[in-house]
Structure 1
Amino acid sequence: MSIDMTMMYVLHDALRRELDRIARLTETPDGLLKATVTWELFTTYLHIHHTSEDDALWPALRKVVPETDLALLDAMEAEHAVIDPALAAVESSGFDDLAENVAVLRDRLTAHLRHEERETLPLIAATLPEEEWARFGALHRQRVGDDTARYLPWMLDSAADDLADRVLNSLPESIRTAYRDDWLPAYRAIRVTSRESDTSRES
């Protein structure tokens, strides 16, 4: 059985999507309040994702990859390290420098995700034991915890139907039912303000 990275790619797409929304919403003072929920969800799940990689995925890879690939893992950790101050800069921004700081964050994060997808995910597929991948996934799920009710619809928001179906079909029936009947409607309710802003700017 090979490692299924569908959820990793869907999560990366969600992070890129949210940064695009944040960039649009923070272009005008009226959009700042509307960006609050988007920013809170984005930073919460980015933190969980990156700390889970730092604590479980990179150390497990270091034990199995050839020595020539250790520099790639060093690069992954270094890229995480420069994203943190970019997040802090956005948090402390006034309106005048907010757009510039969001752009810096977007450049750093999208470059990191692109690098990870191009080089690190193939390395994981080729070298990481399935039990270590499962351990990383378990830690990630543990850290999301009770927030799964927000995390899952957030992650699948705007995902292609086939990818969303693959993610949902990998989950227990009880989770799929809760997602369809409760979690997705609740998520849509909290996101309506930012969605209205997106729509108004695109019309």
Structure 2
Amino acid sequence: MTTARQPGESGDLLMMYAFHDGLRRDVAAVAKSAAVTGDDPARLTATHFGWDLLKRFLIIHHSAEDEILWPRMREILVDRPDEVELLDAMEEEHETIDPLIAAIDAALADQEGGHAALGDAADAFATALNAHLTHEEGDALPLMSRELPTADWVRFADSQRNGVGQGLAPRYVPWLLDGATPERADQILAIFPPPVVAQYRRAWRQQYAELNPWATGYGRA
């Protein structure tokens, strides 16, 4: 998993990159799980917890981008058509990914024949999502870093926080930190309120590791 990228990157971009790292980590787990041969229904069941977290967090993240980031950037870039085309591409890539999520859901729900479709569905999903993340990081994030006002970054963060809510927070924080280096974990934890950090250290991290078959470990004790 990739981690630290840009010295001095803002807290906003830090969280974006950390989130993308989590997506890449779990996309690799999806592909590895789906590549296992055989038609044992238990193989499908074993992927459900990790896939459900990945899917839910990805949908929350993309919804916040579609509803807040891209519309606001369109307002800012209204007289710059070349850069508006980049926003069009971001939205089109989201639309391409949605049916691939549905295809994996369908394969996992089919206990009798889902194993036959899971591999191709997971490969298509991994290819599309990884390409989108690379495109966004290479072009869209630098543009947003230059142009998007702080107030809009806050709105975006609030939207994702509301989407996660208290119910998913015990899963989201350890999911975000799973596999991070000690330095990266320190940077990410510094963004969260102290009570959240305390809960993560006291209980959430261990609970997540016990529940998630994809958990890889933590860089911070």
Higher relative contact order (CA 8 A, sep 6+): 1
Deviates more, 1:87-96 or 1:138-147: 87-96
Name the CA distance, whole Å, in 1 between partners of 2:116 and 2:68: 39
Residue number in structure 1 paired with 2:209: 188
Residue number in structure 2 paired with 1:69: 83
Residue number in structure 2 paired with 1:79: 93
Number of aligned positions between the proteins: 195
- 1:56 alignment partner AA: I
Percent of residue pairs identical: 36
Q: Secondary structure at the match of 2:192?
A: coil
Aligned counterpart for 1:14 among listed residues 15, 22, 39: 22
Name the CA distance, whole Å, in 2 between partners of 1:180 and 1:194: 19
- Give, in angstroms, the shift of residue 60 of structure 1: 1.0
Residue number in structure 2 paired with 1:129: 149
Aligned-residue RMSD, C-alpha: 1.7
| Contact 1:23 1:102 (C-alpha < 8 Å) held by counterparts | yes
Residue number in structure 2 paired with 1:97: 117
Unaligned segments of structure 2, at least 5 residues:
1-7, 108-113, 217-221
Name the CA distance, whole Å, in 2 between partners of 1:194 and 1:140: 23
**Cα deviations by residue, 1:27-75 (Å, 9 ceiling, x for unpaired):** 2435322211111101010000000100111111111123320000000
Aligned counterpart for 1:140 among listed residues 160, 165, 186: 160
- 2:106 alignment partner AA: S
Q: Higher helix fraction: Structure 1 or Structure 2?
A: 1
Residue number in structure 1 paired with 2:192: 171
Unaligned segments of structure 1, at least 5 residues:
199-203
| Contact 1:87 1:105 (C-alpha < 8 Å) held by counterparts | yes
TM value normalised by structure 1: 0.91
Q: Secondary structure at the match of 1:42?
A: helix
| Contact 1:90 1:102 (C-alpha < 8 Å) held by counterparts | yes
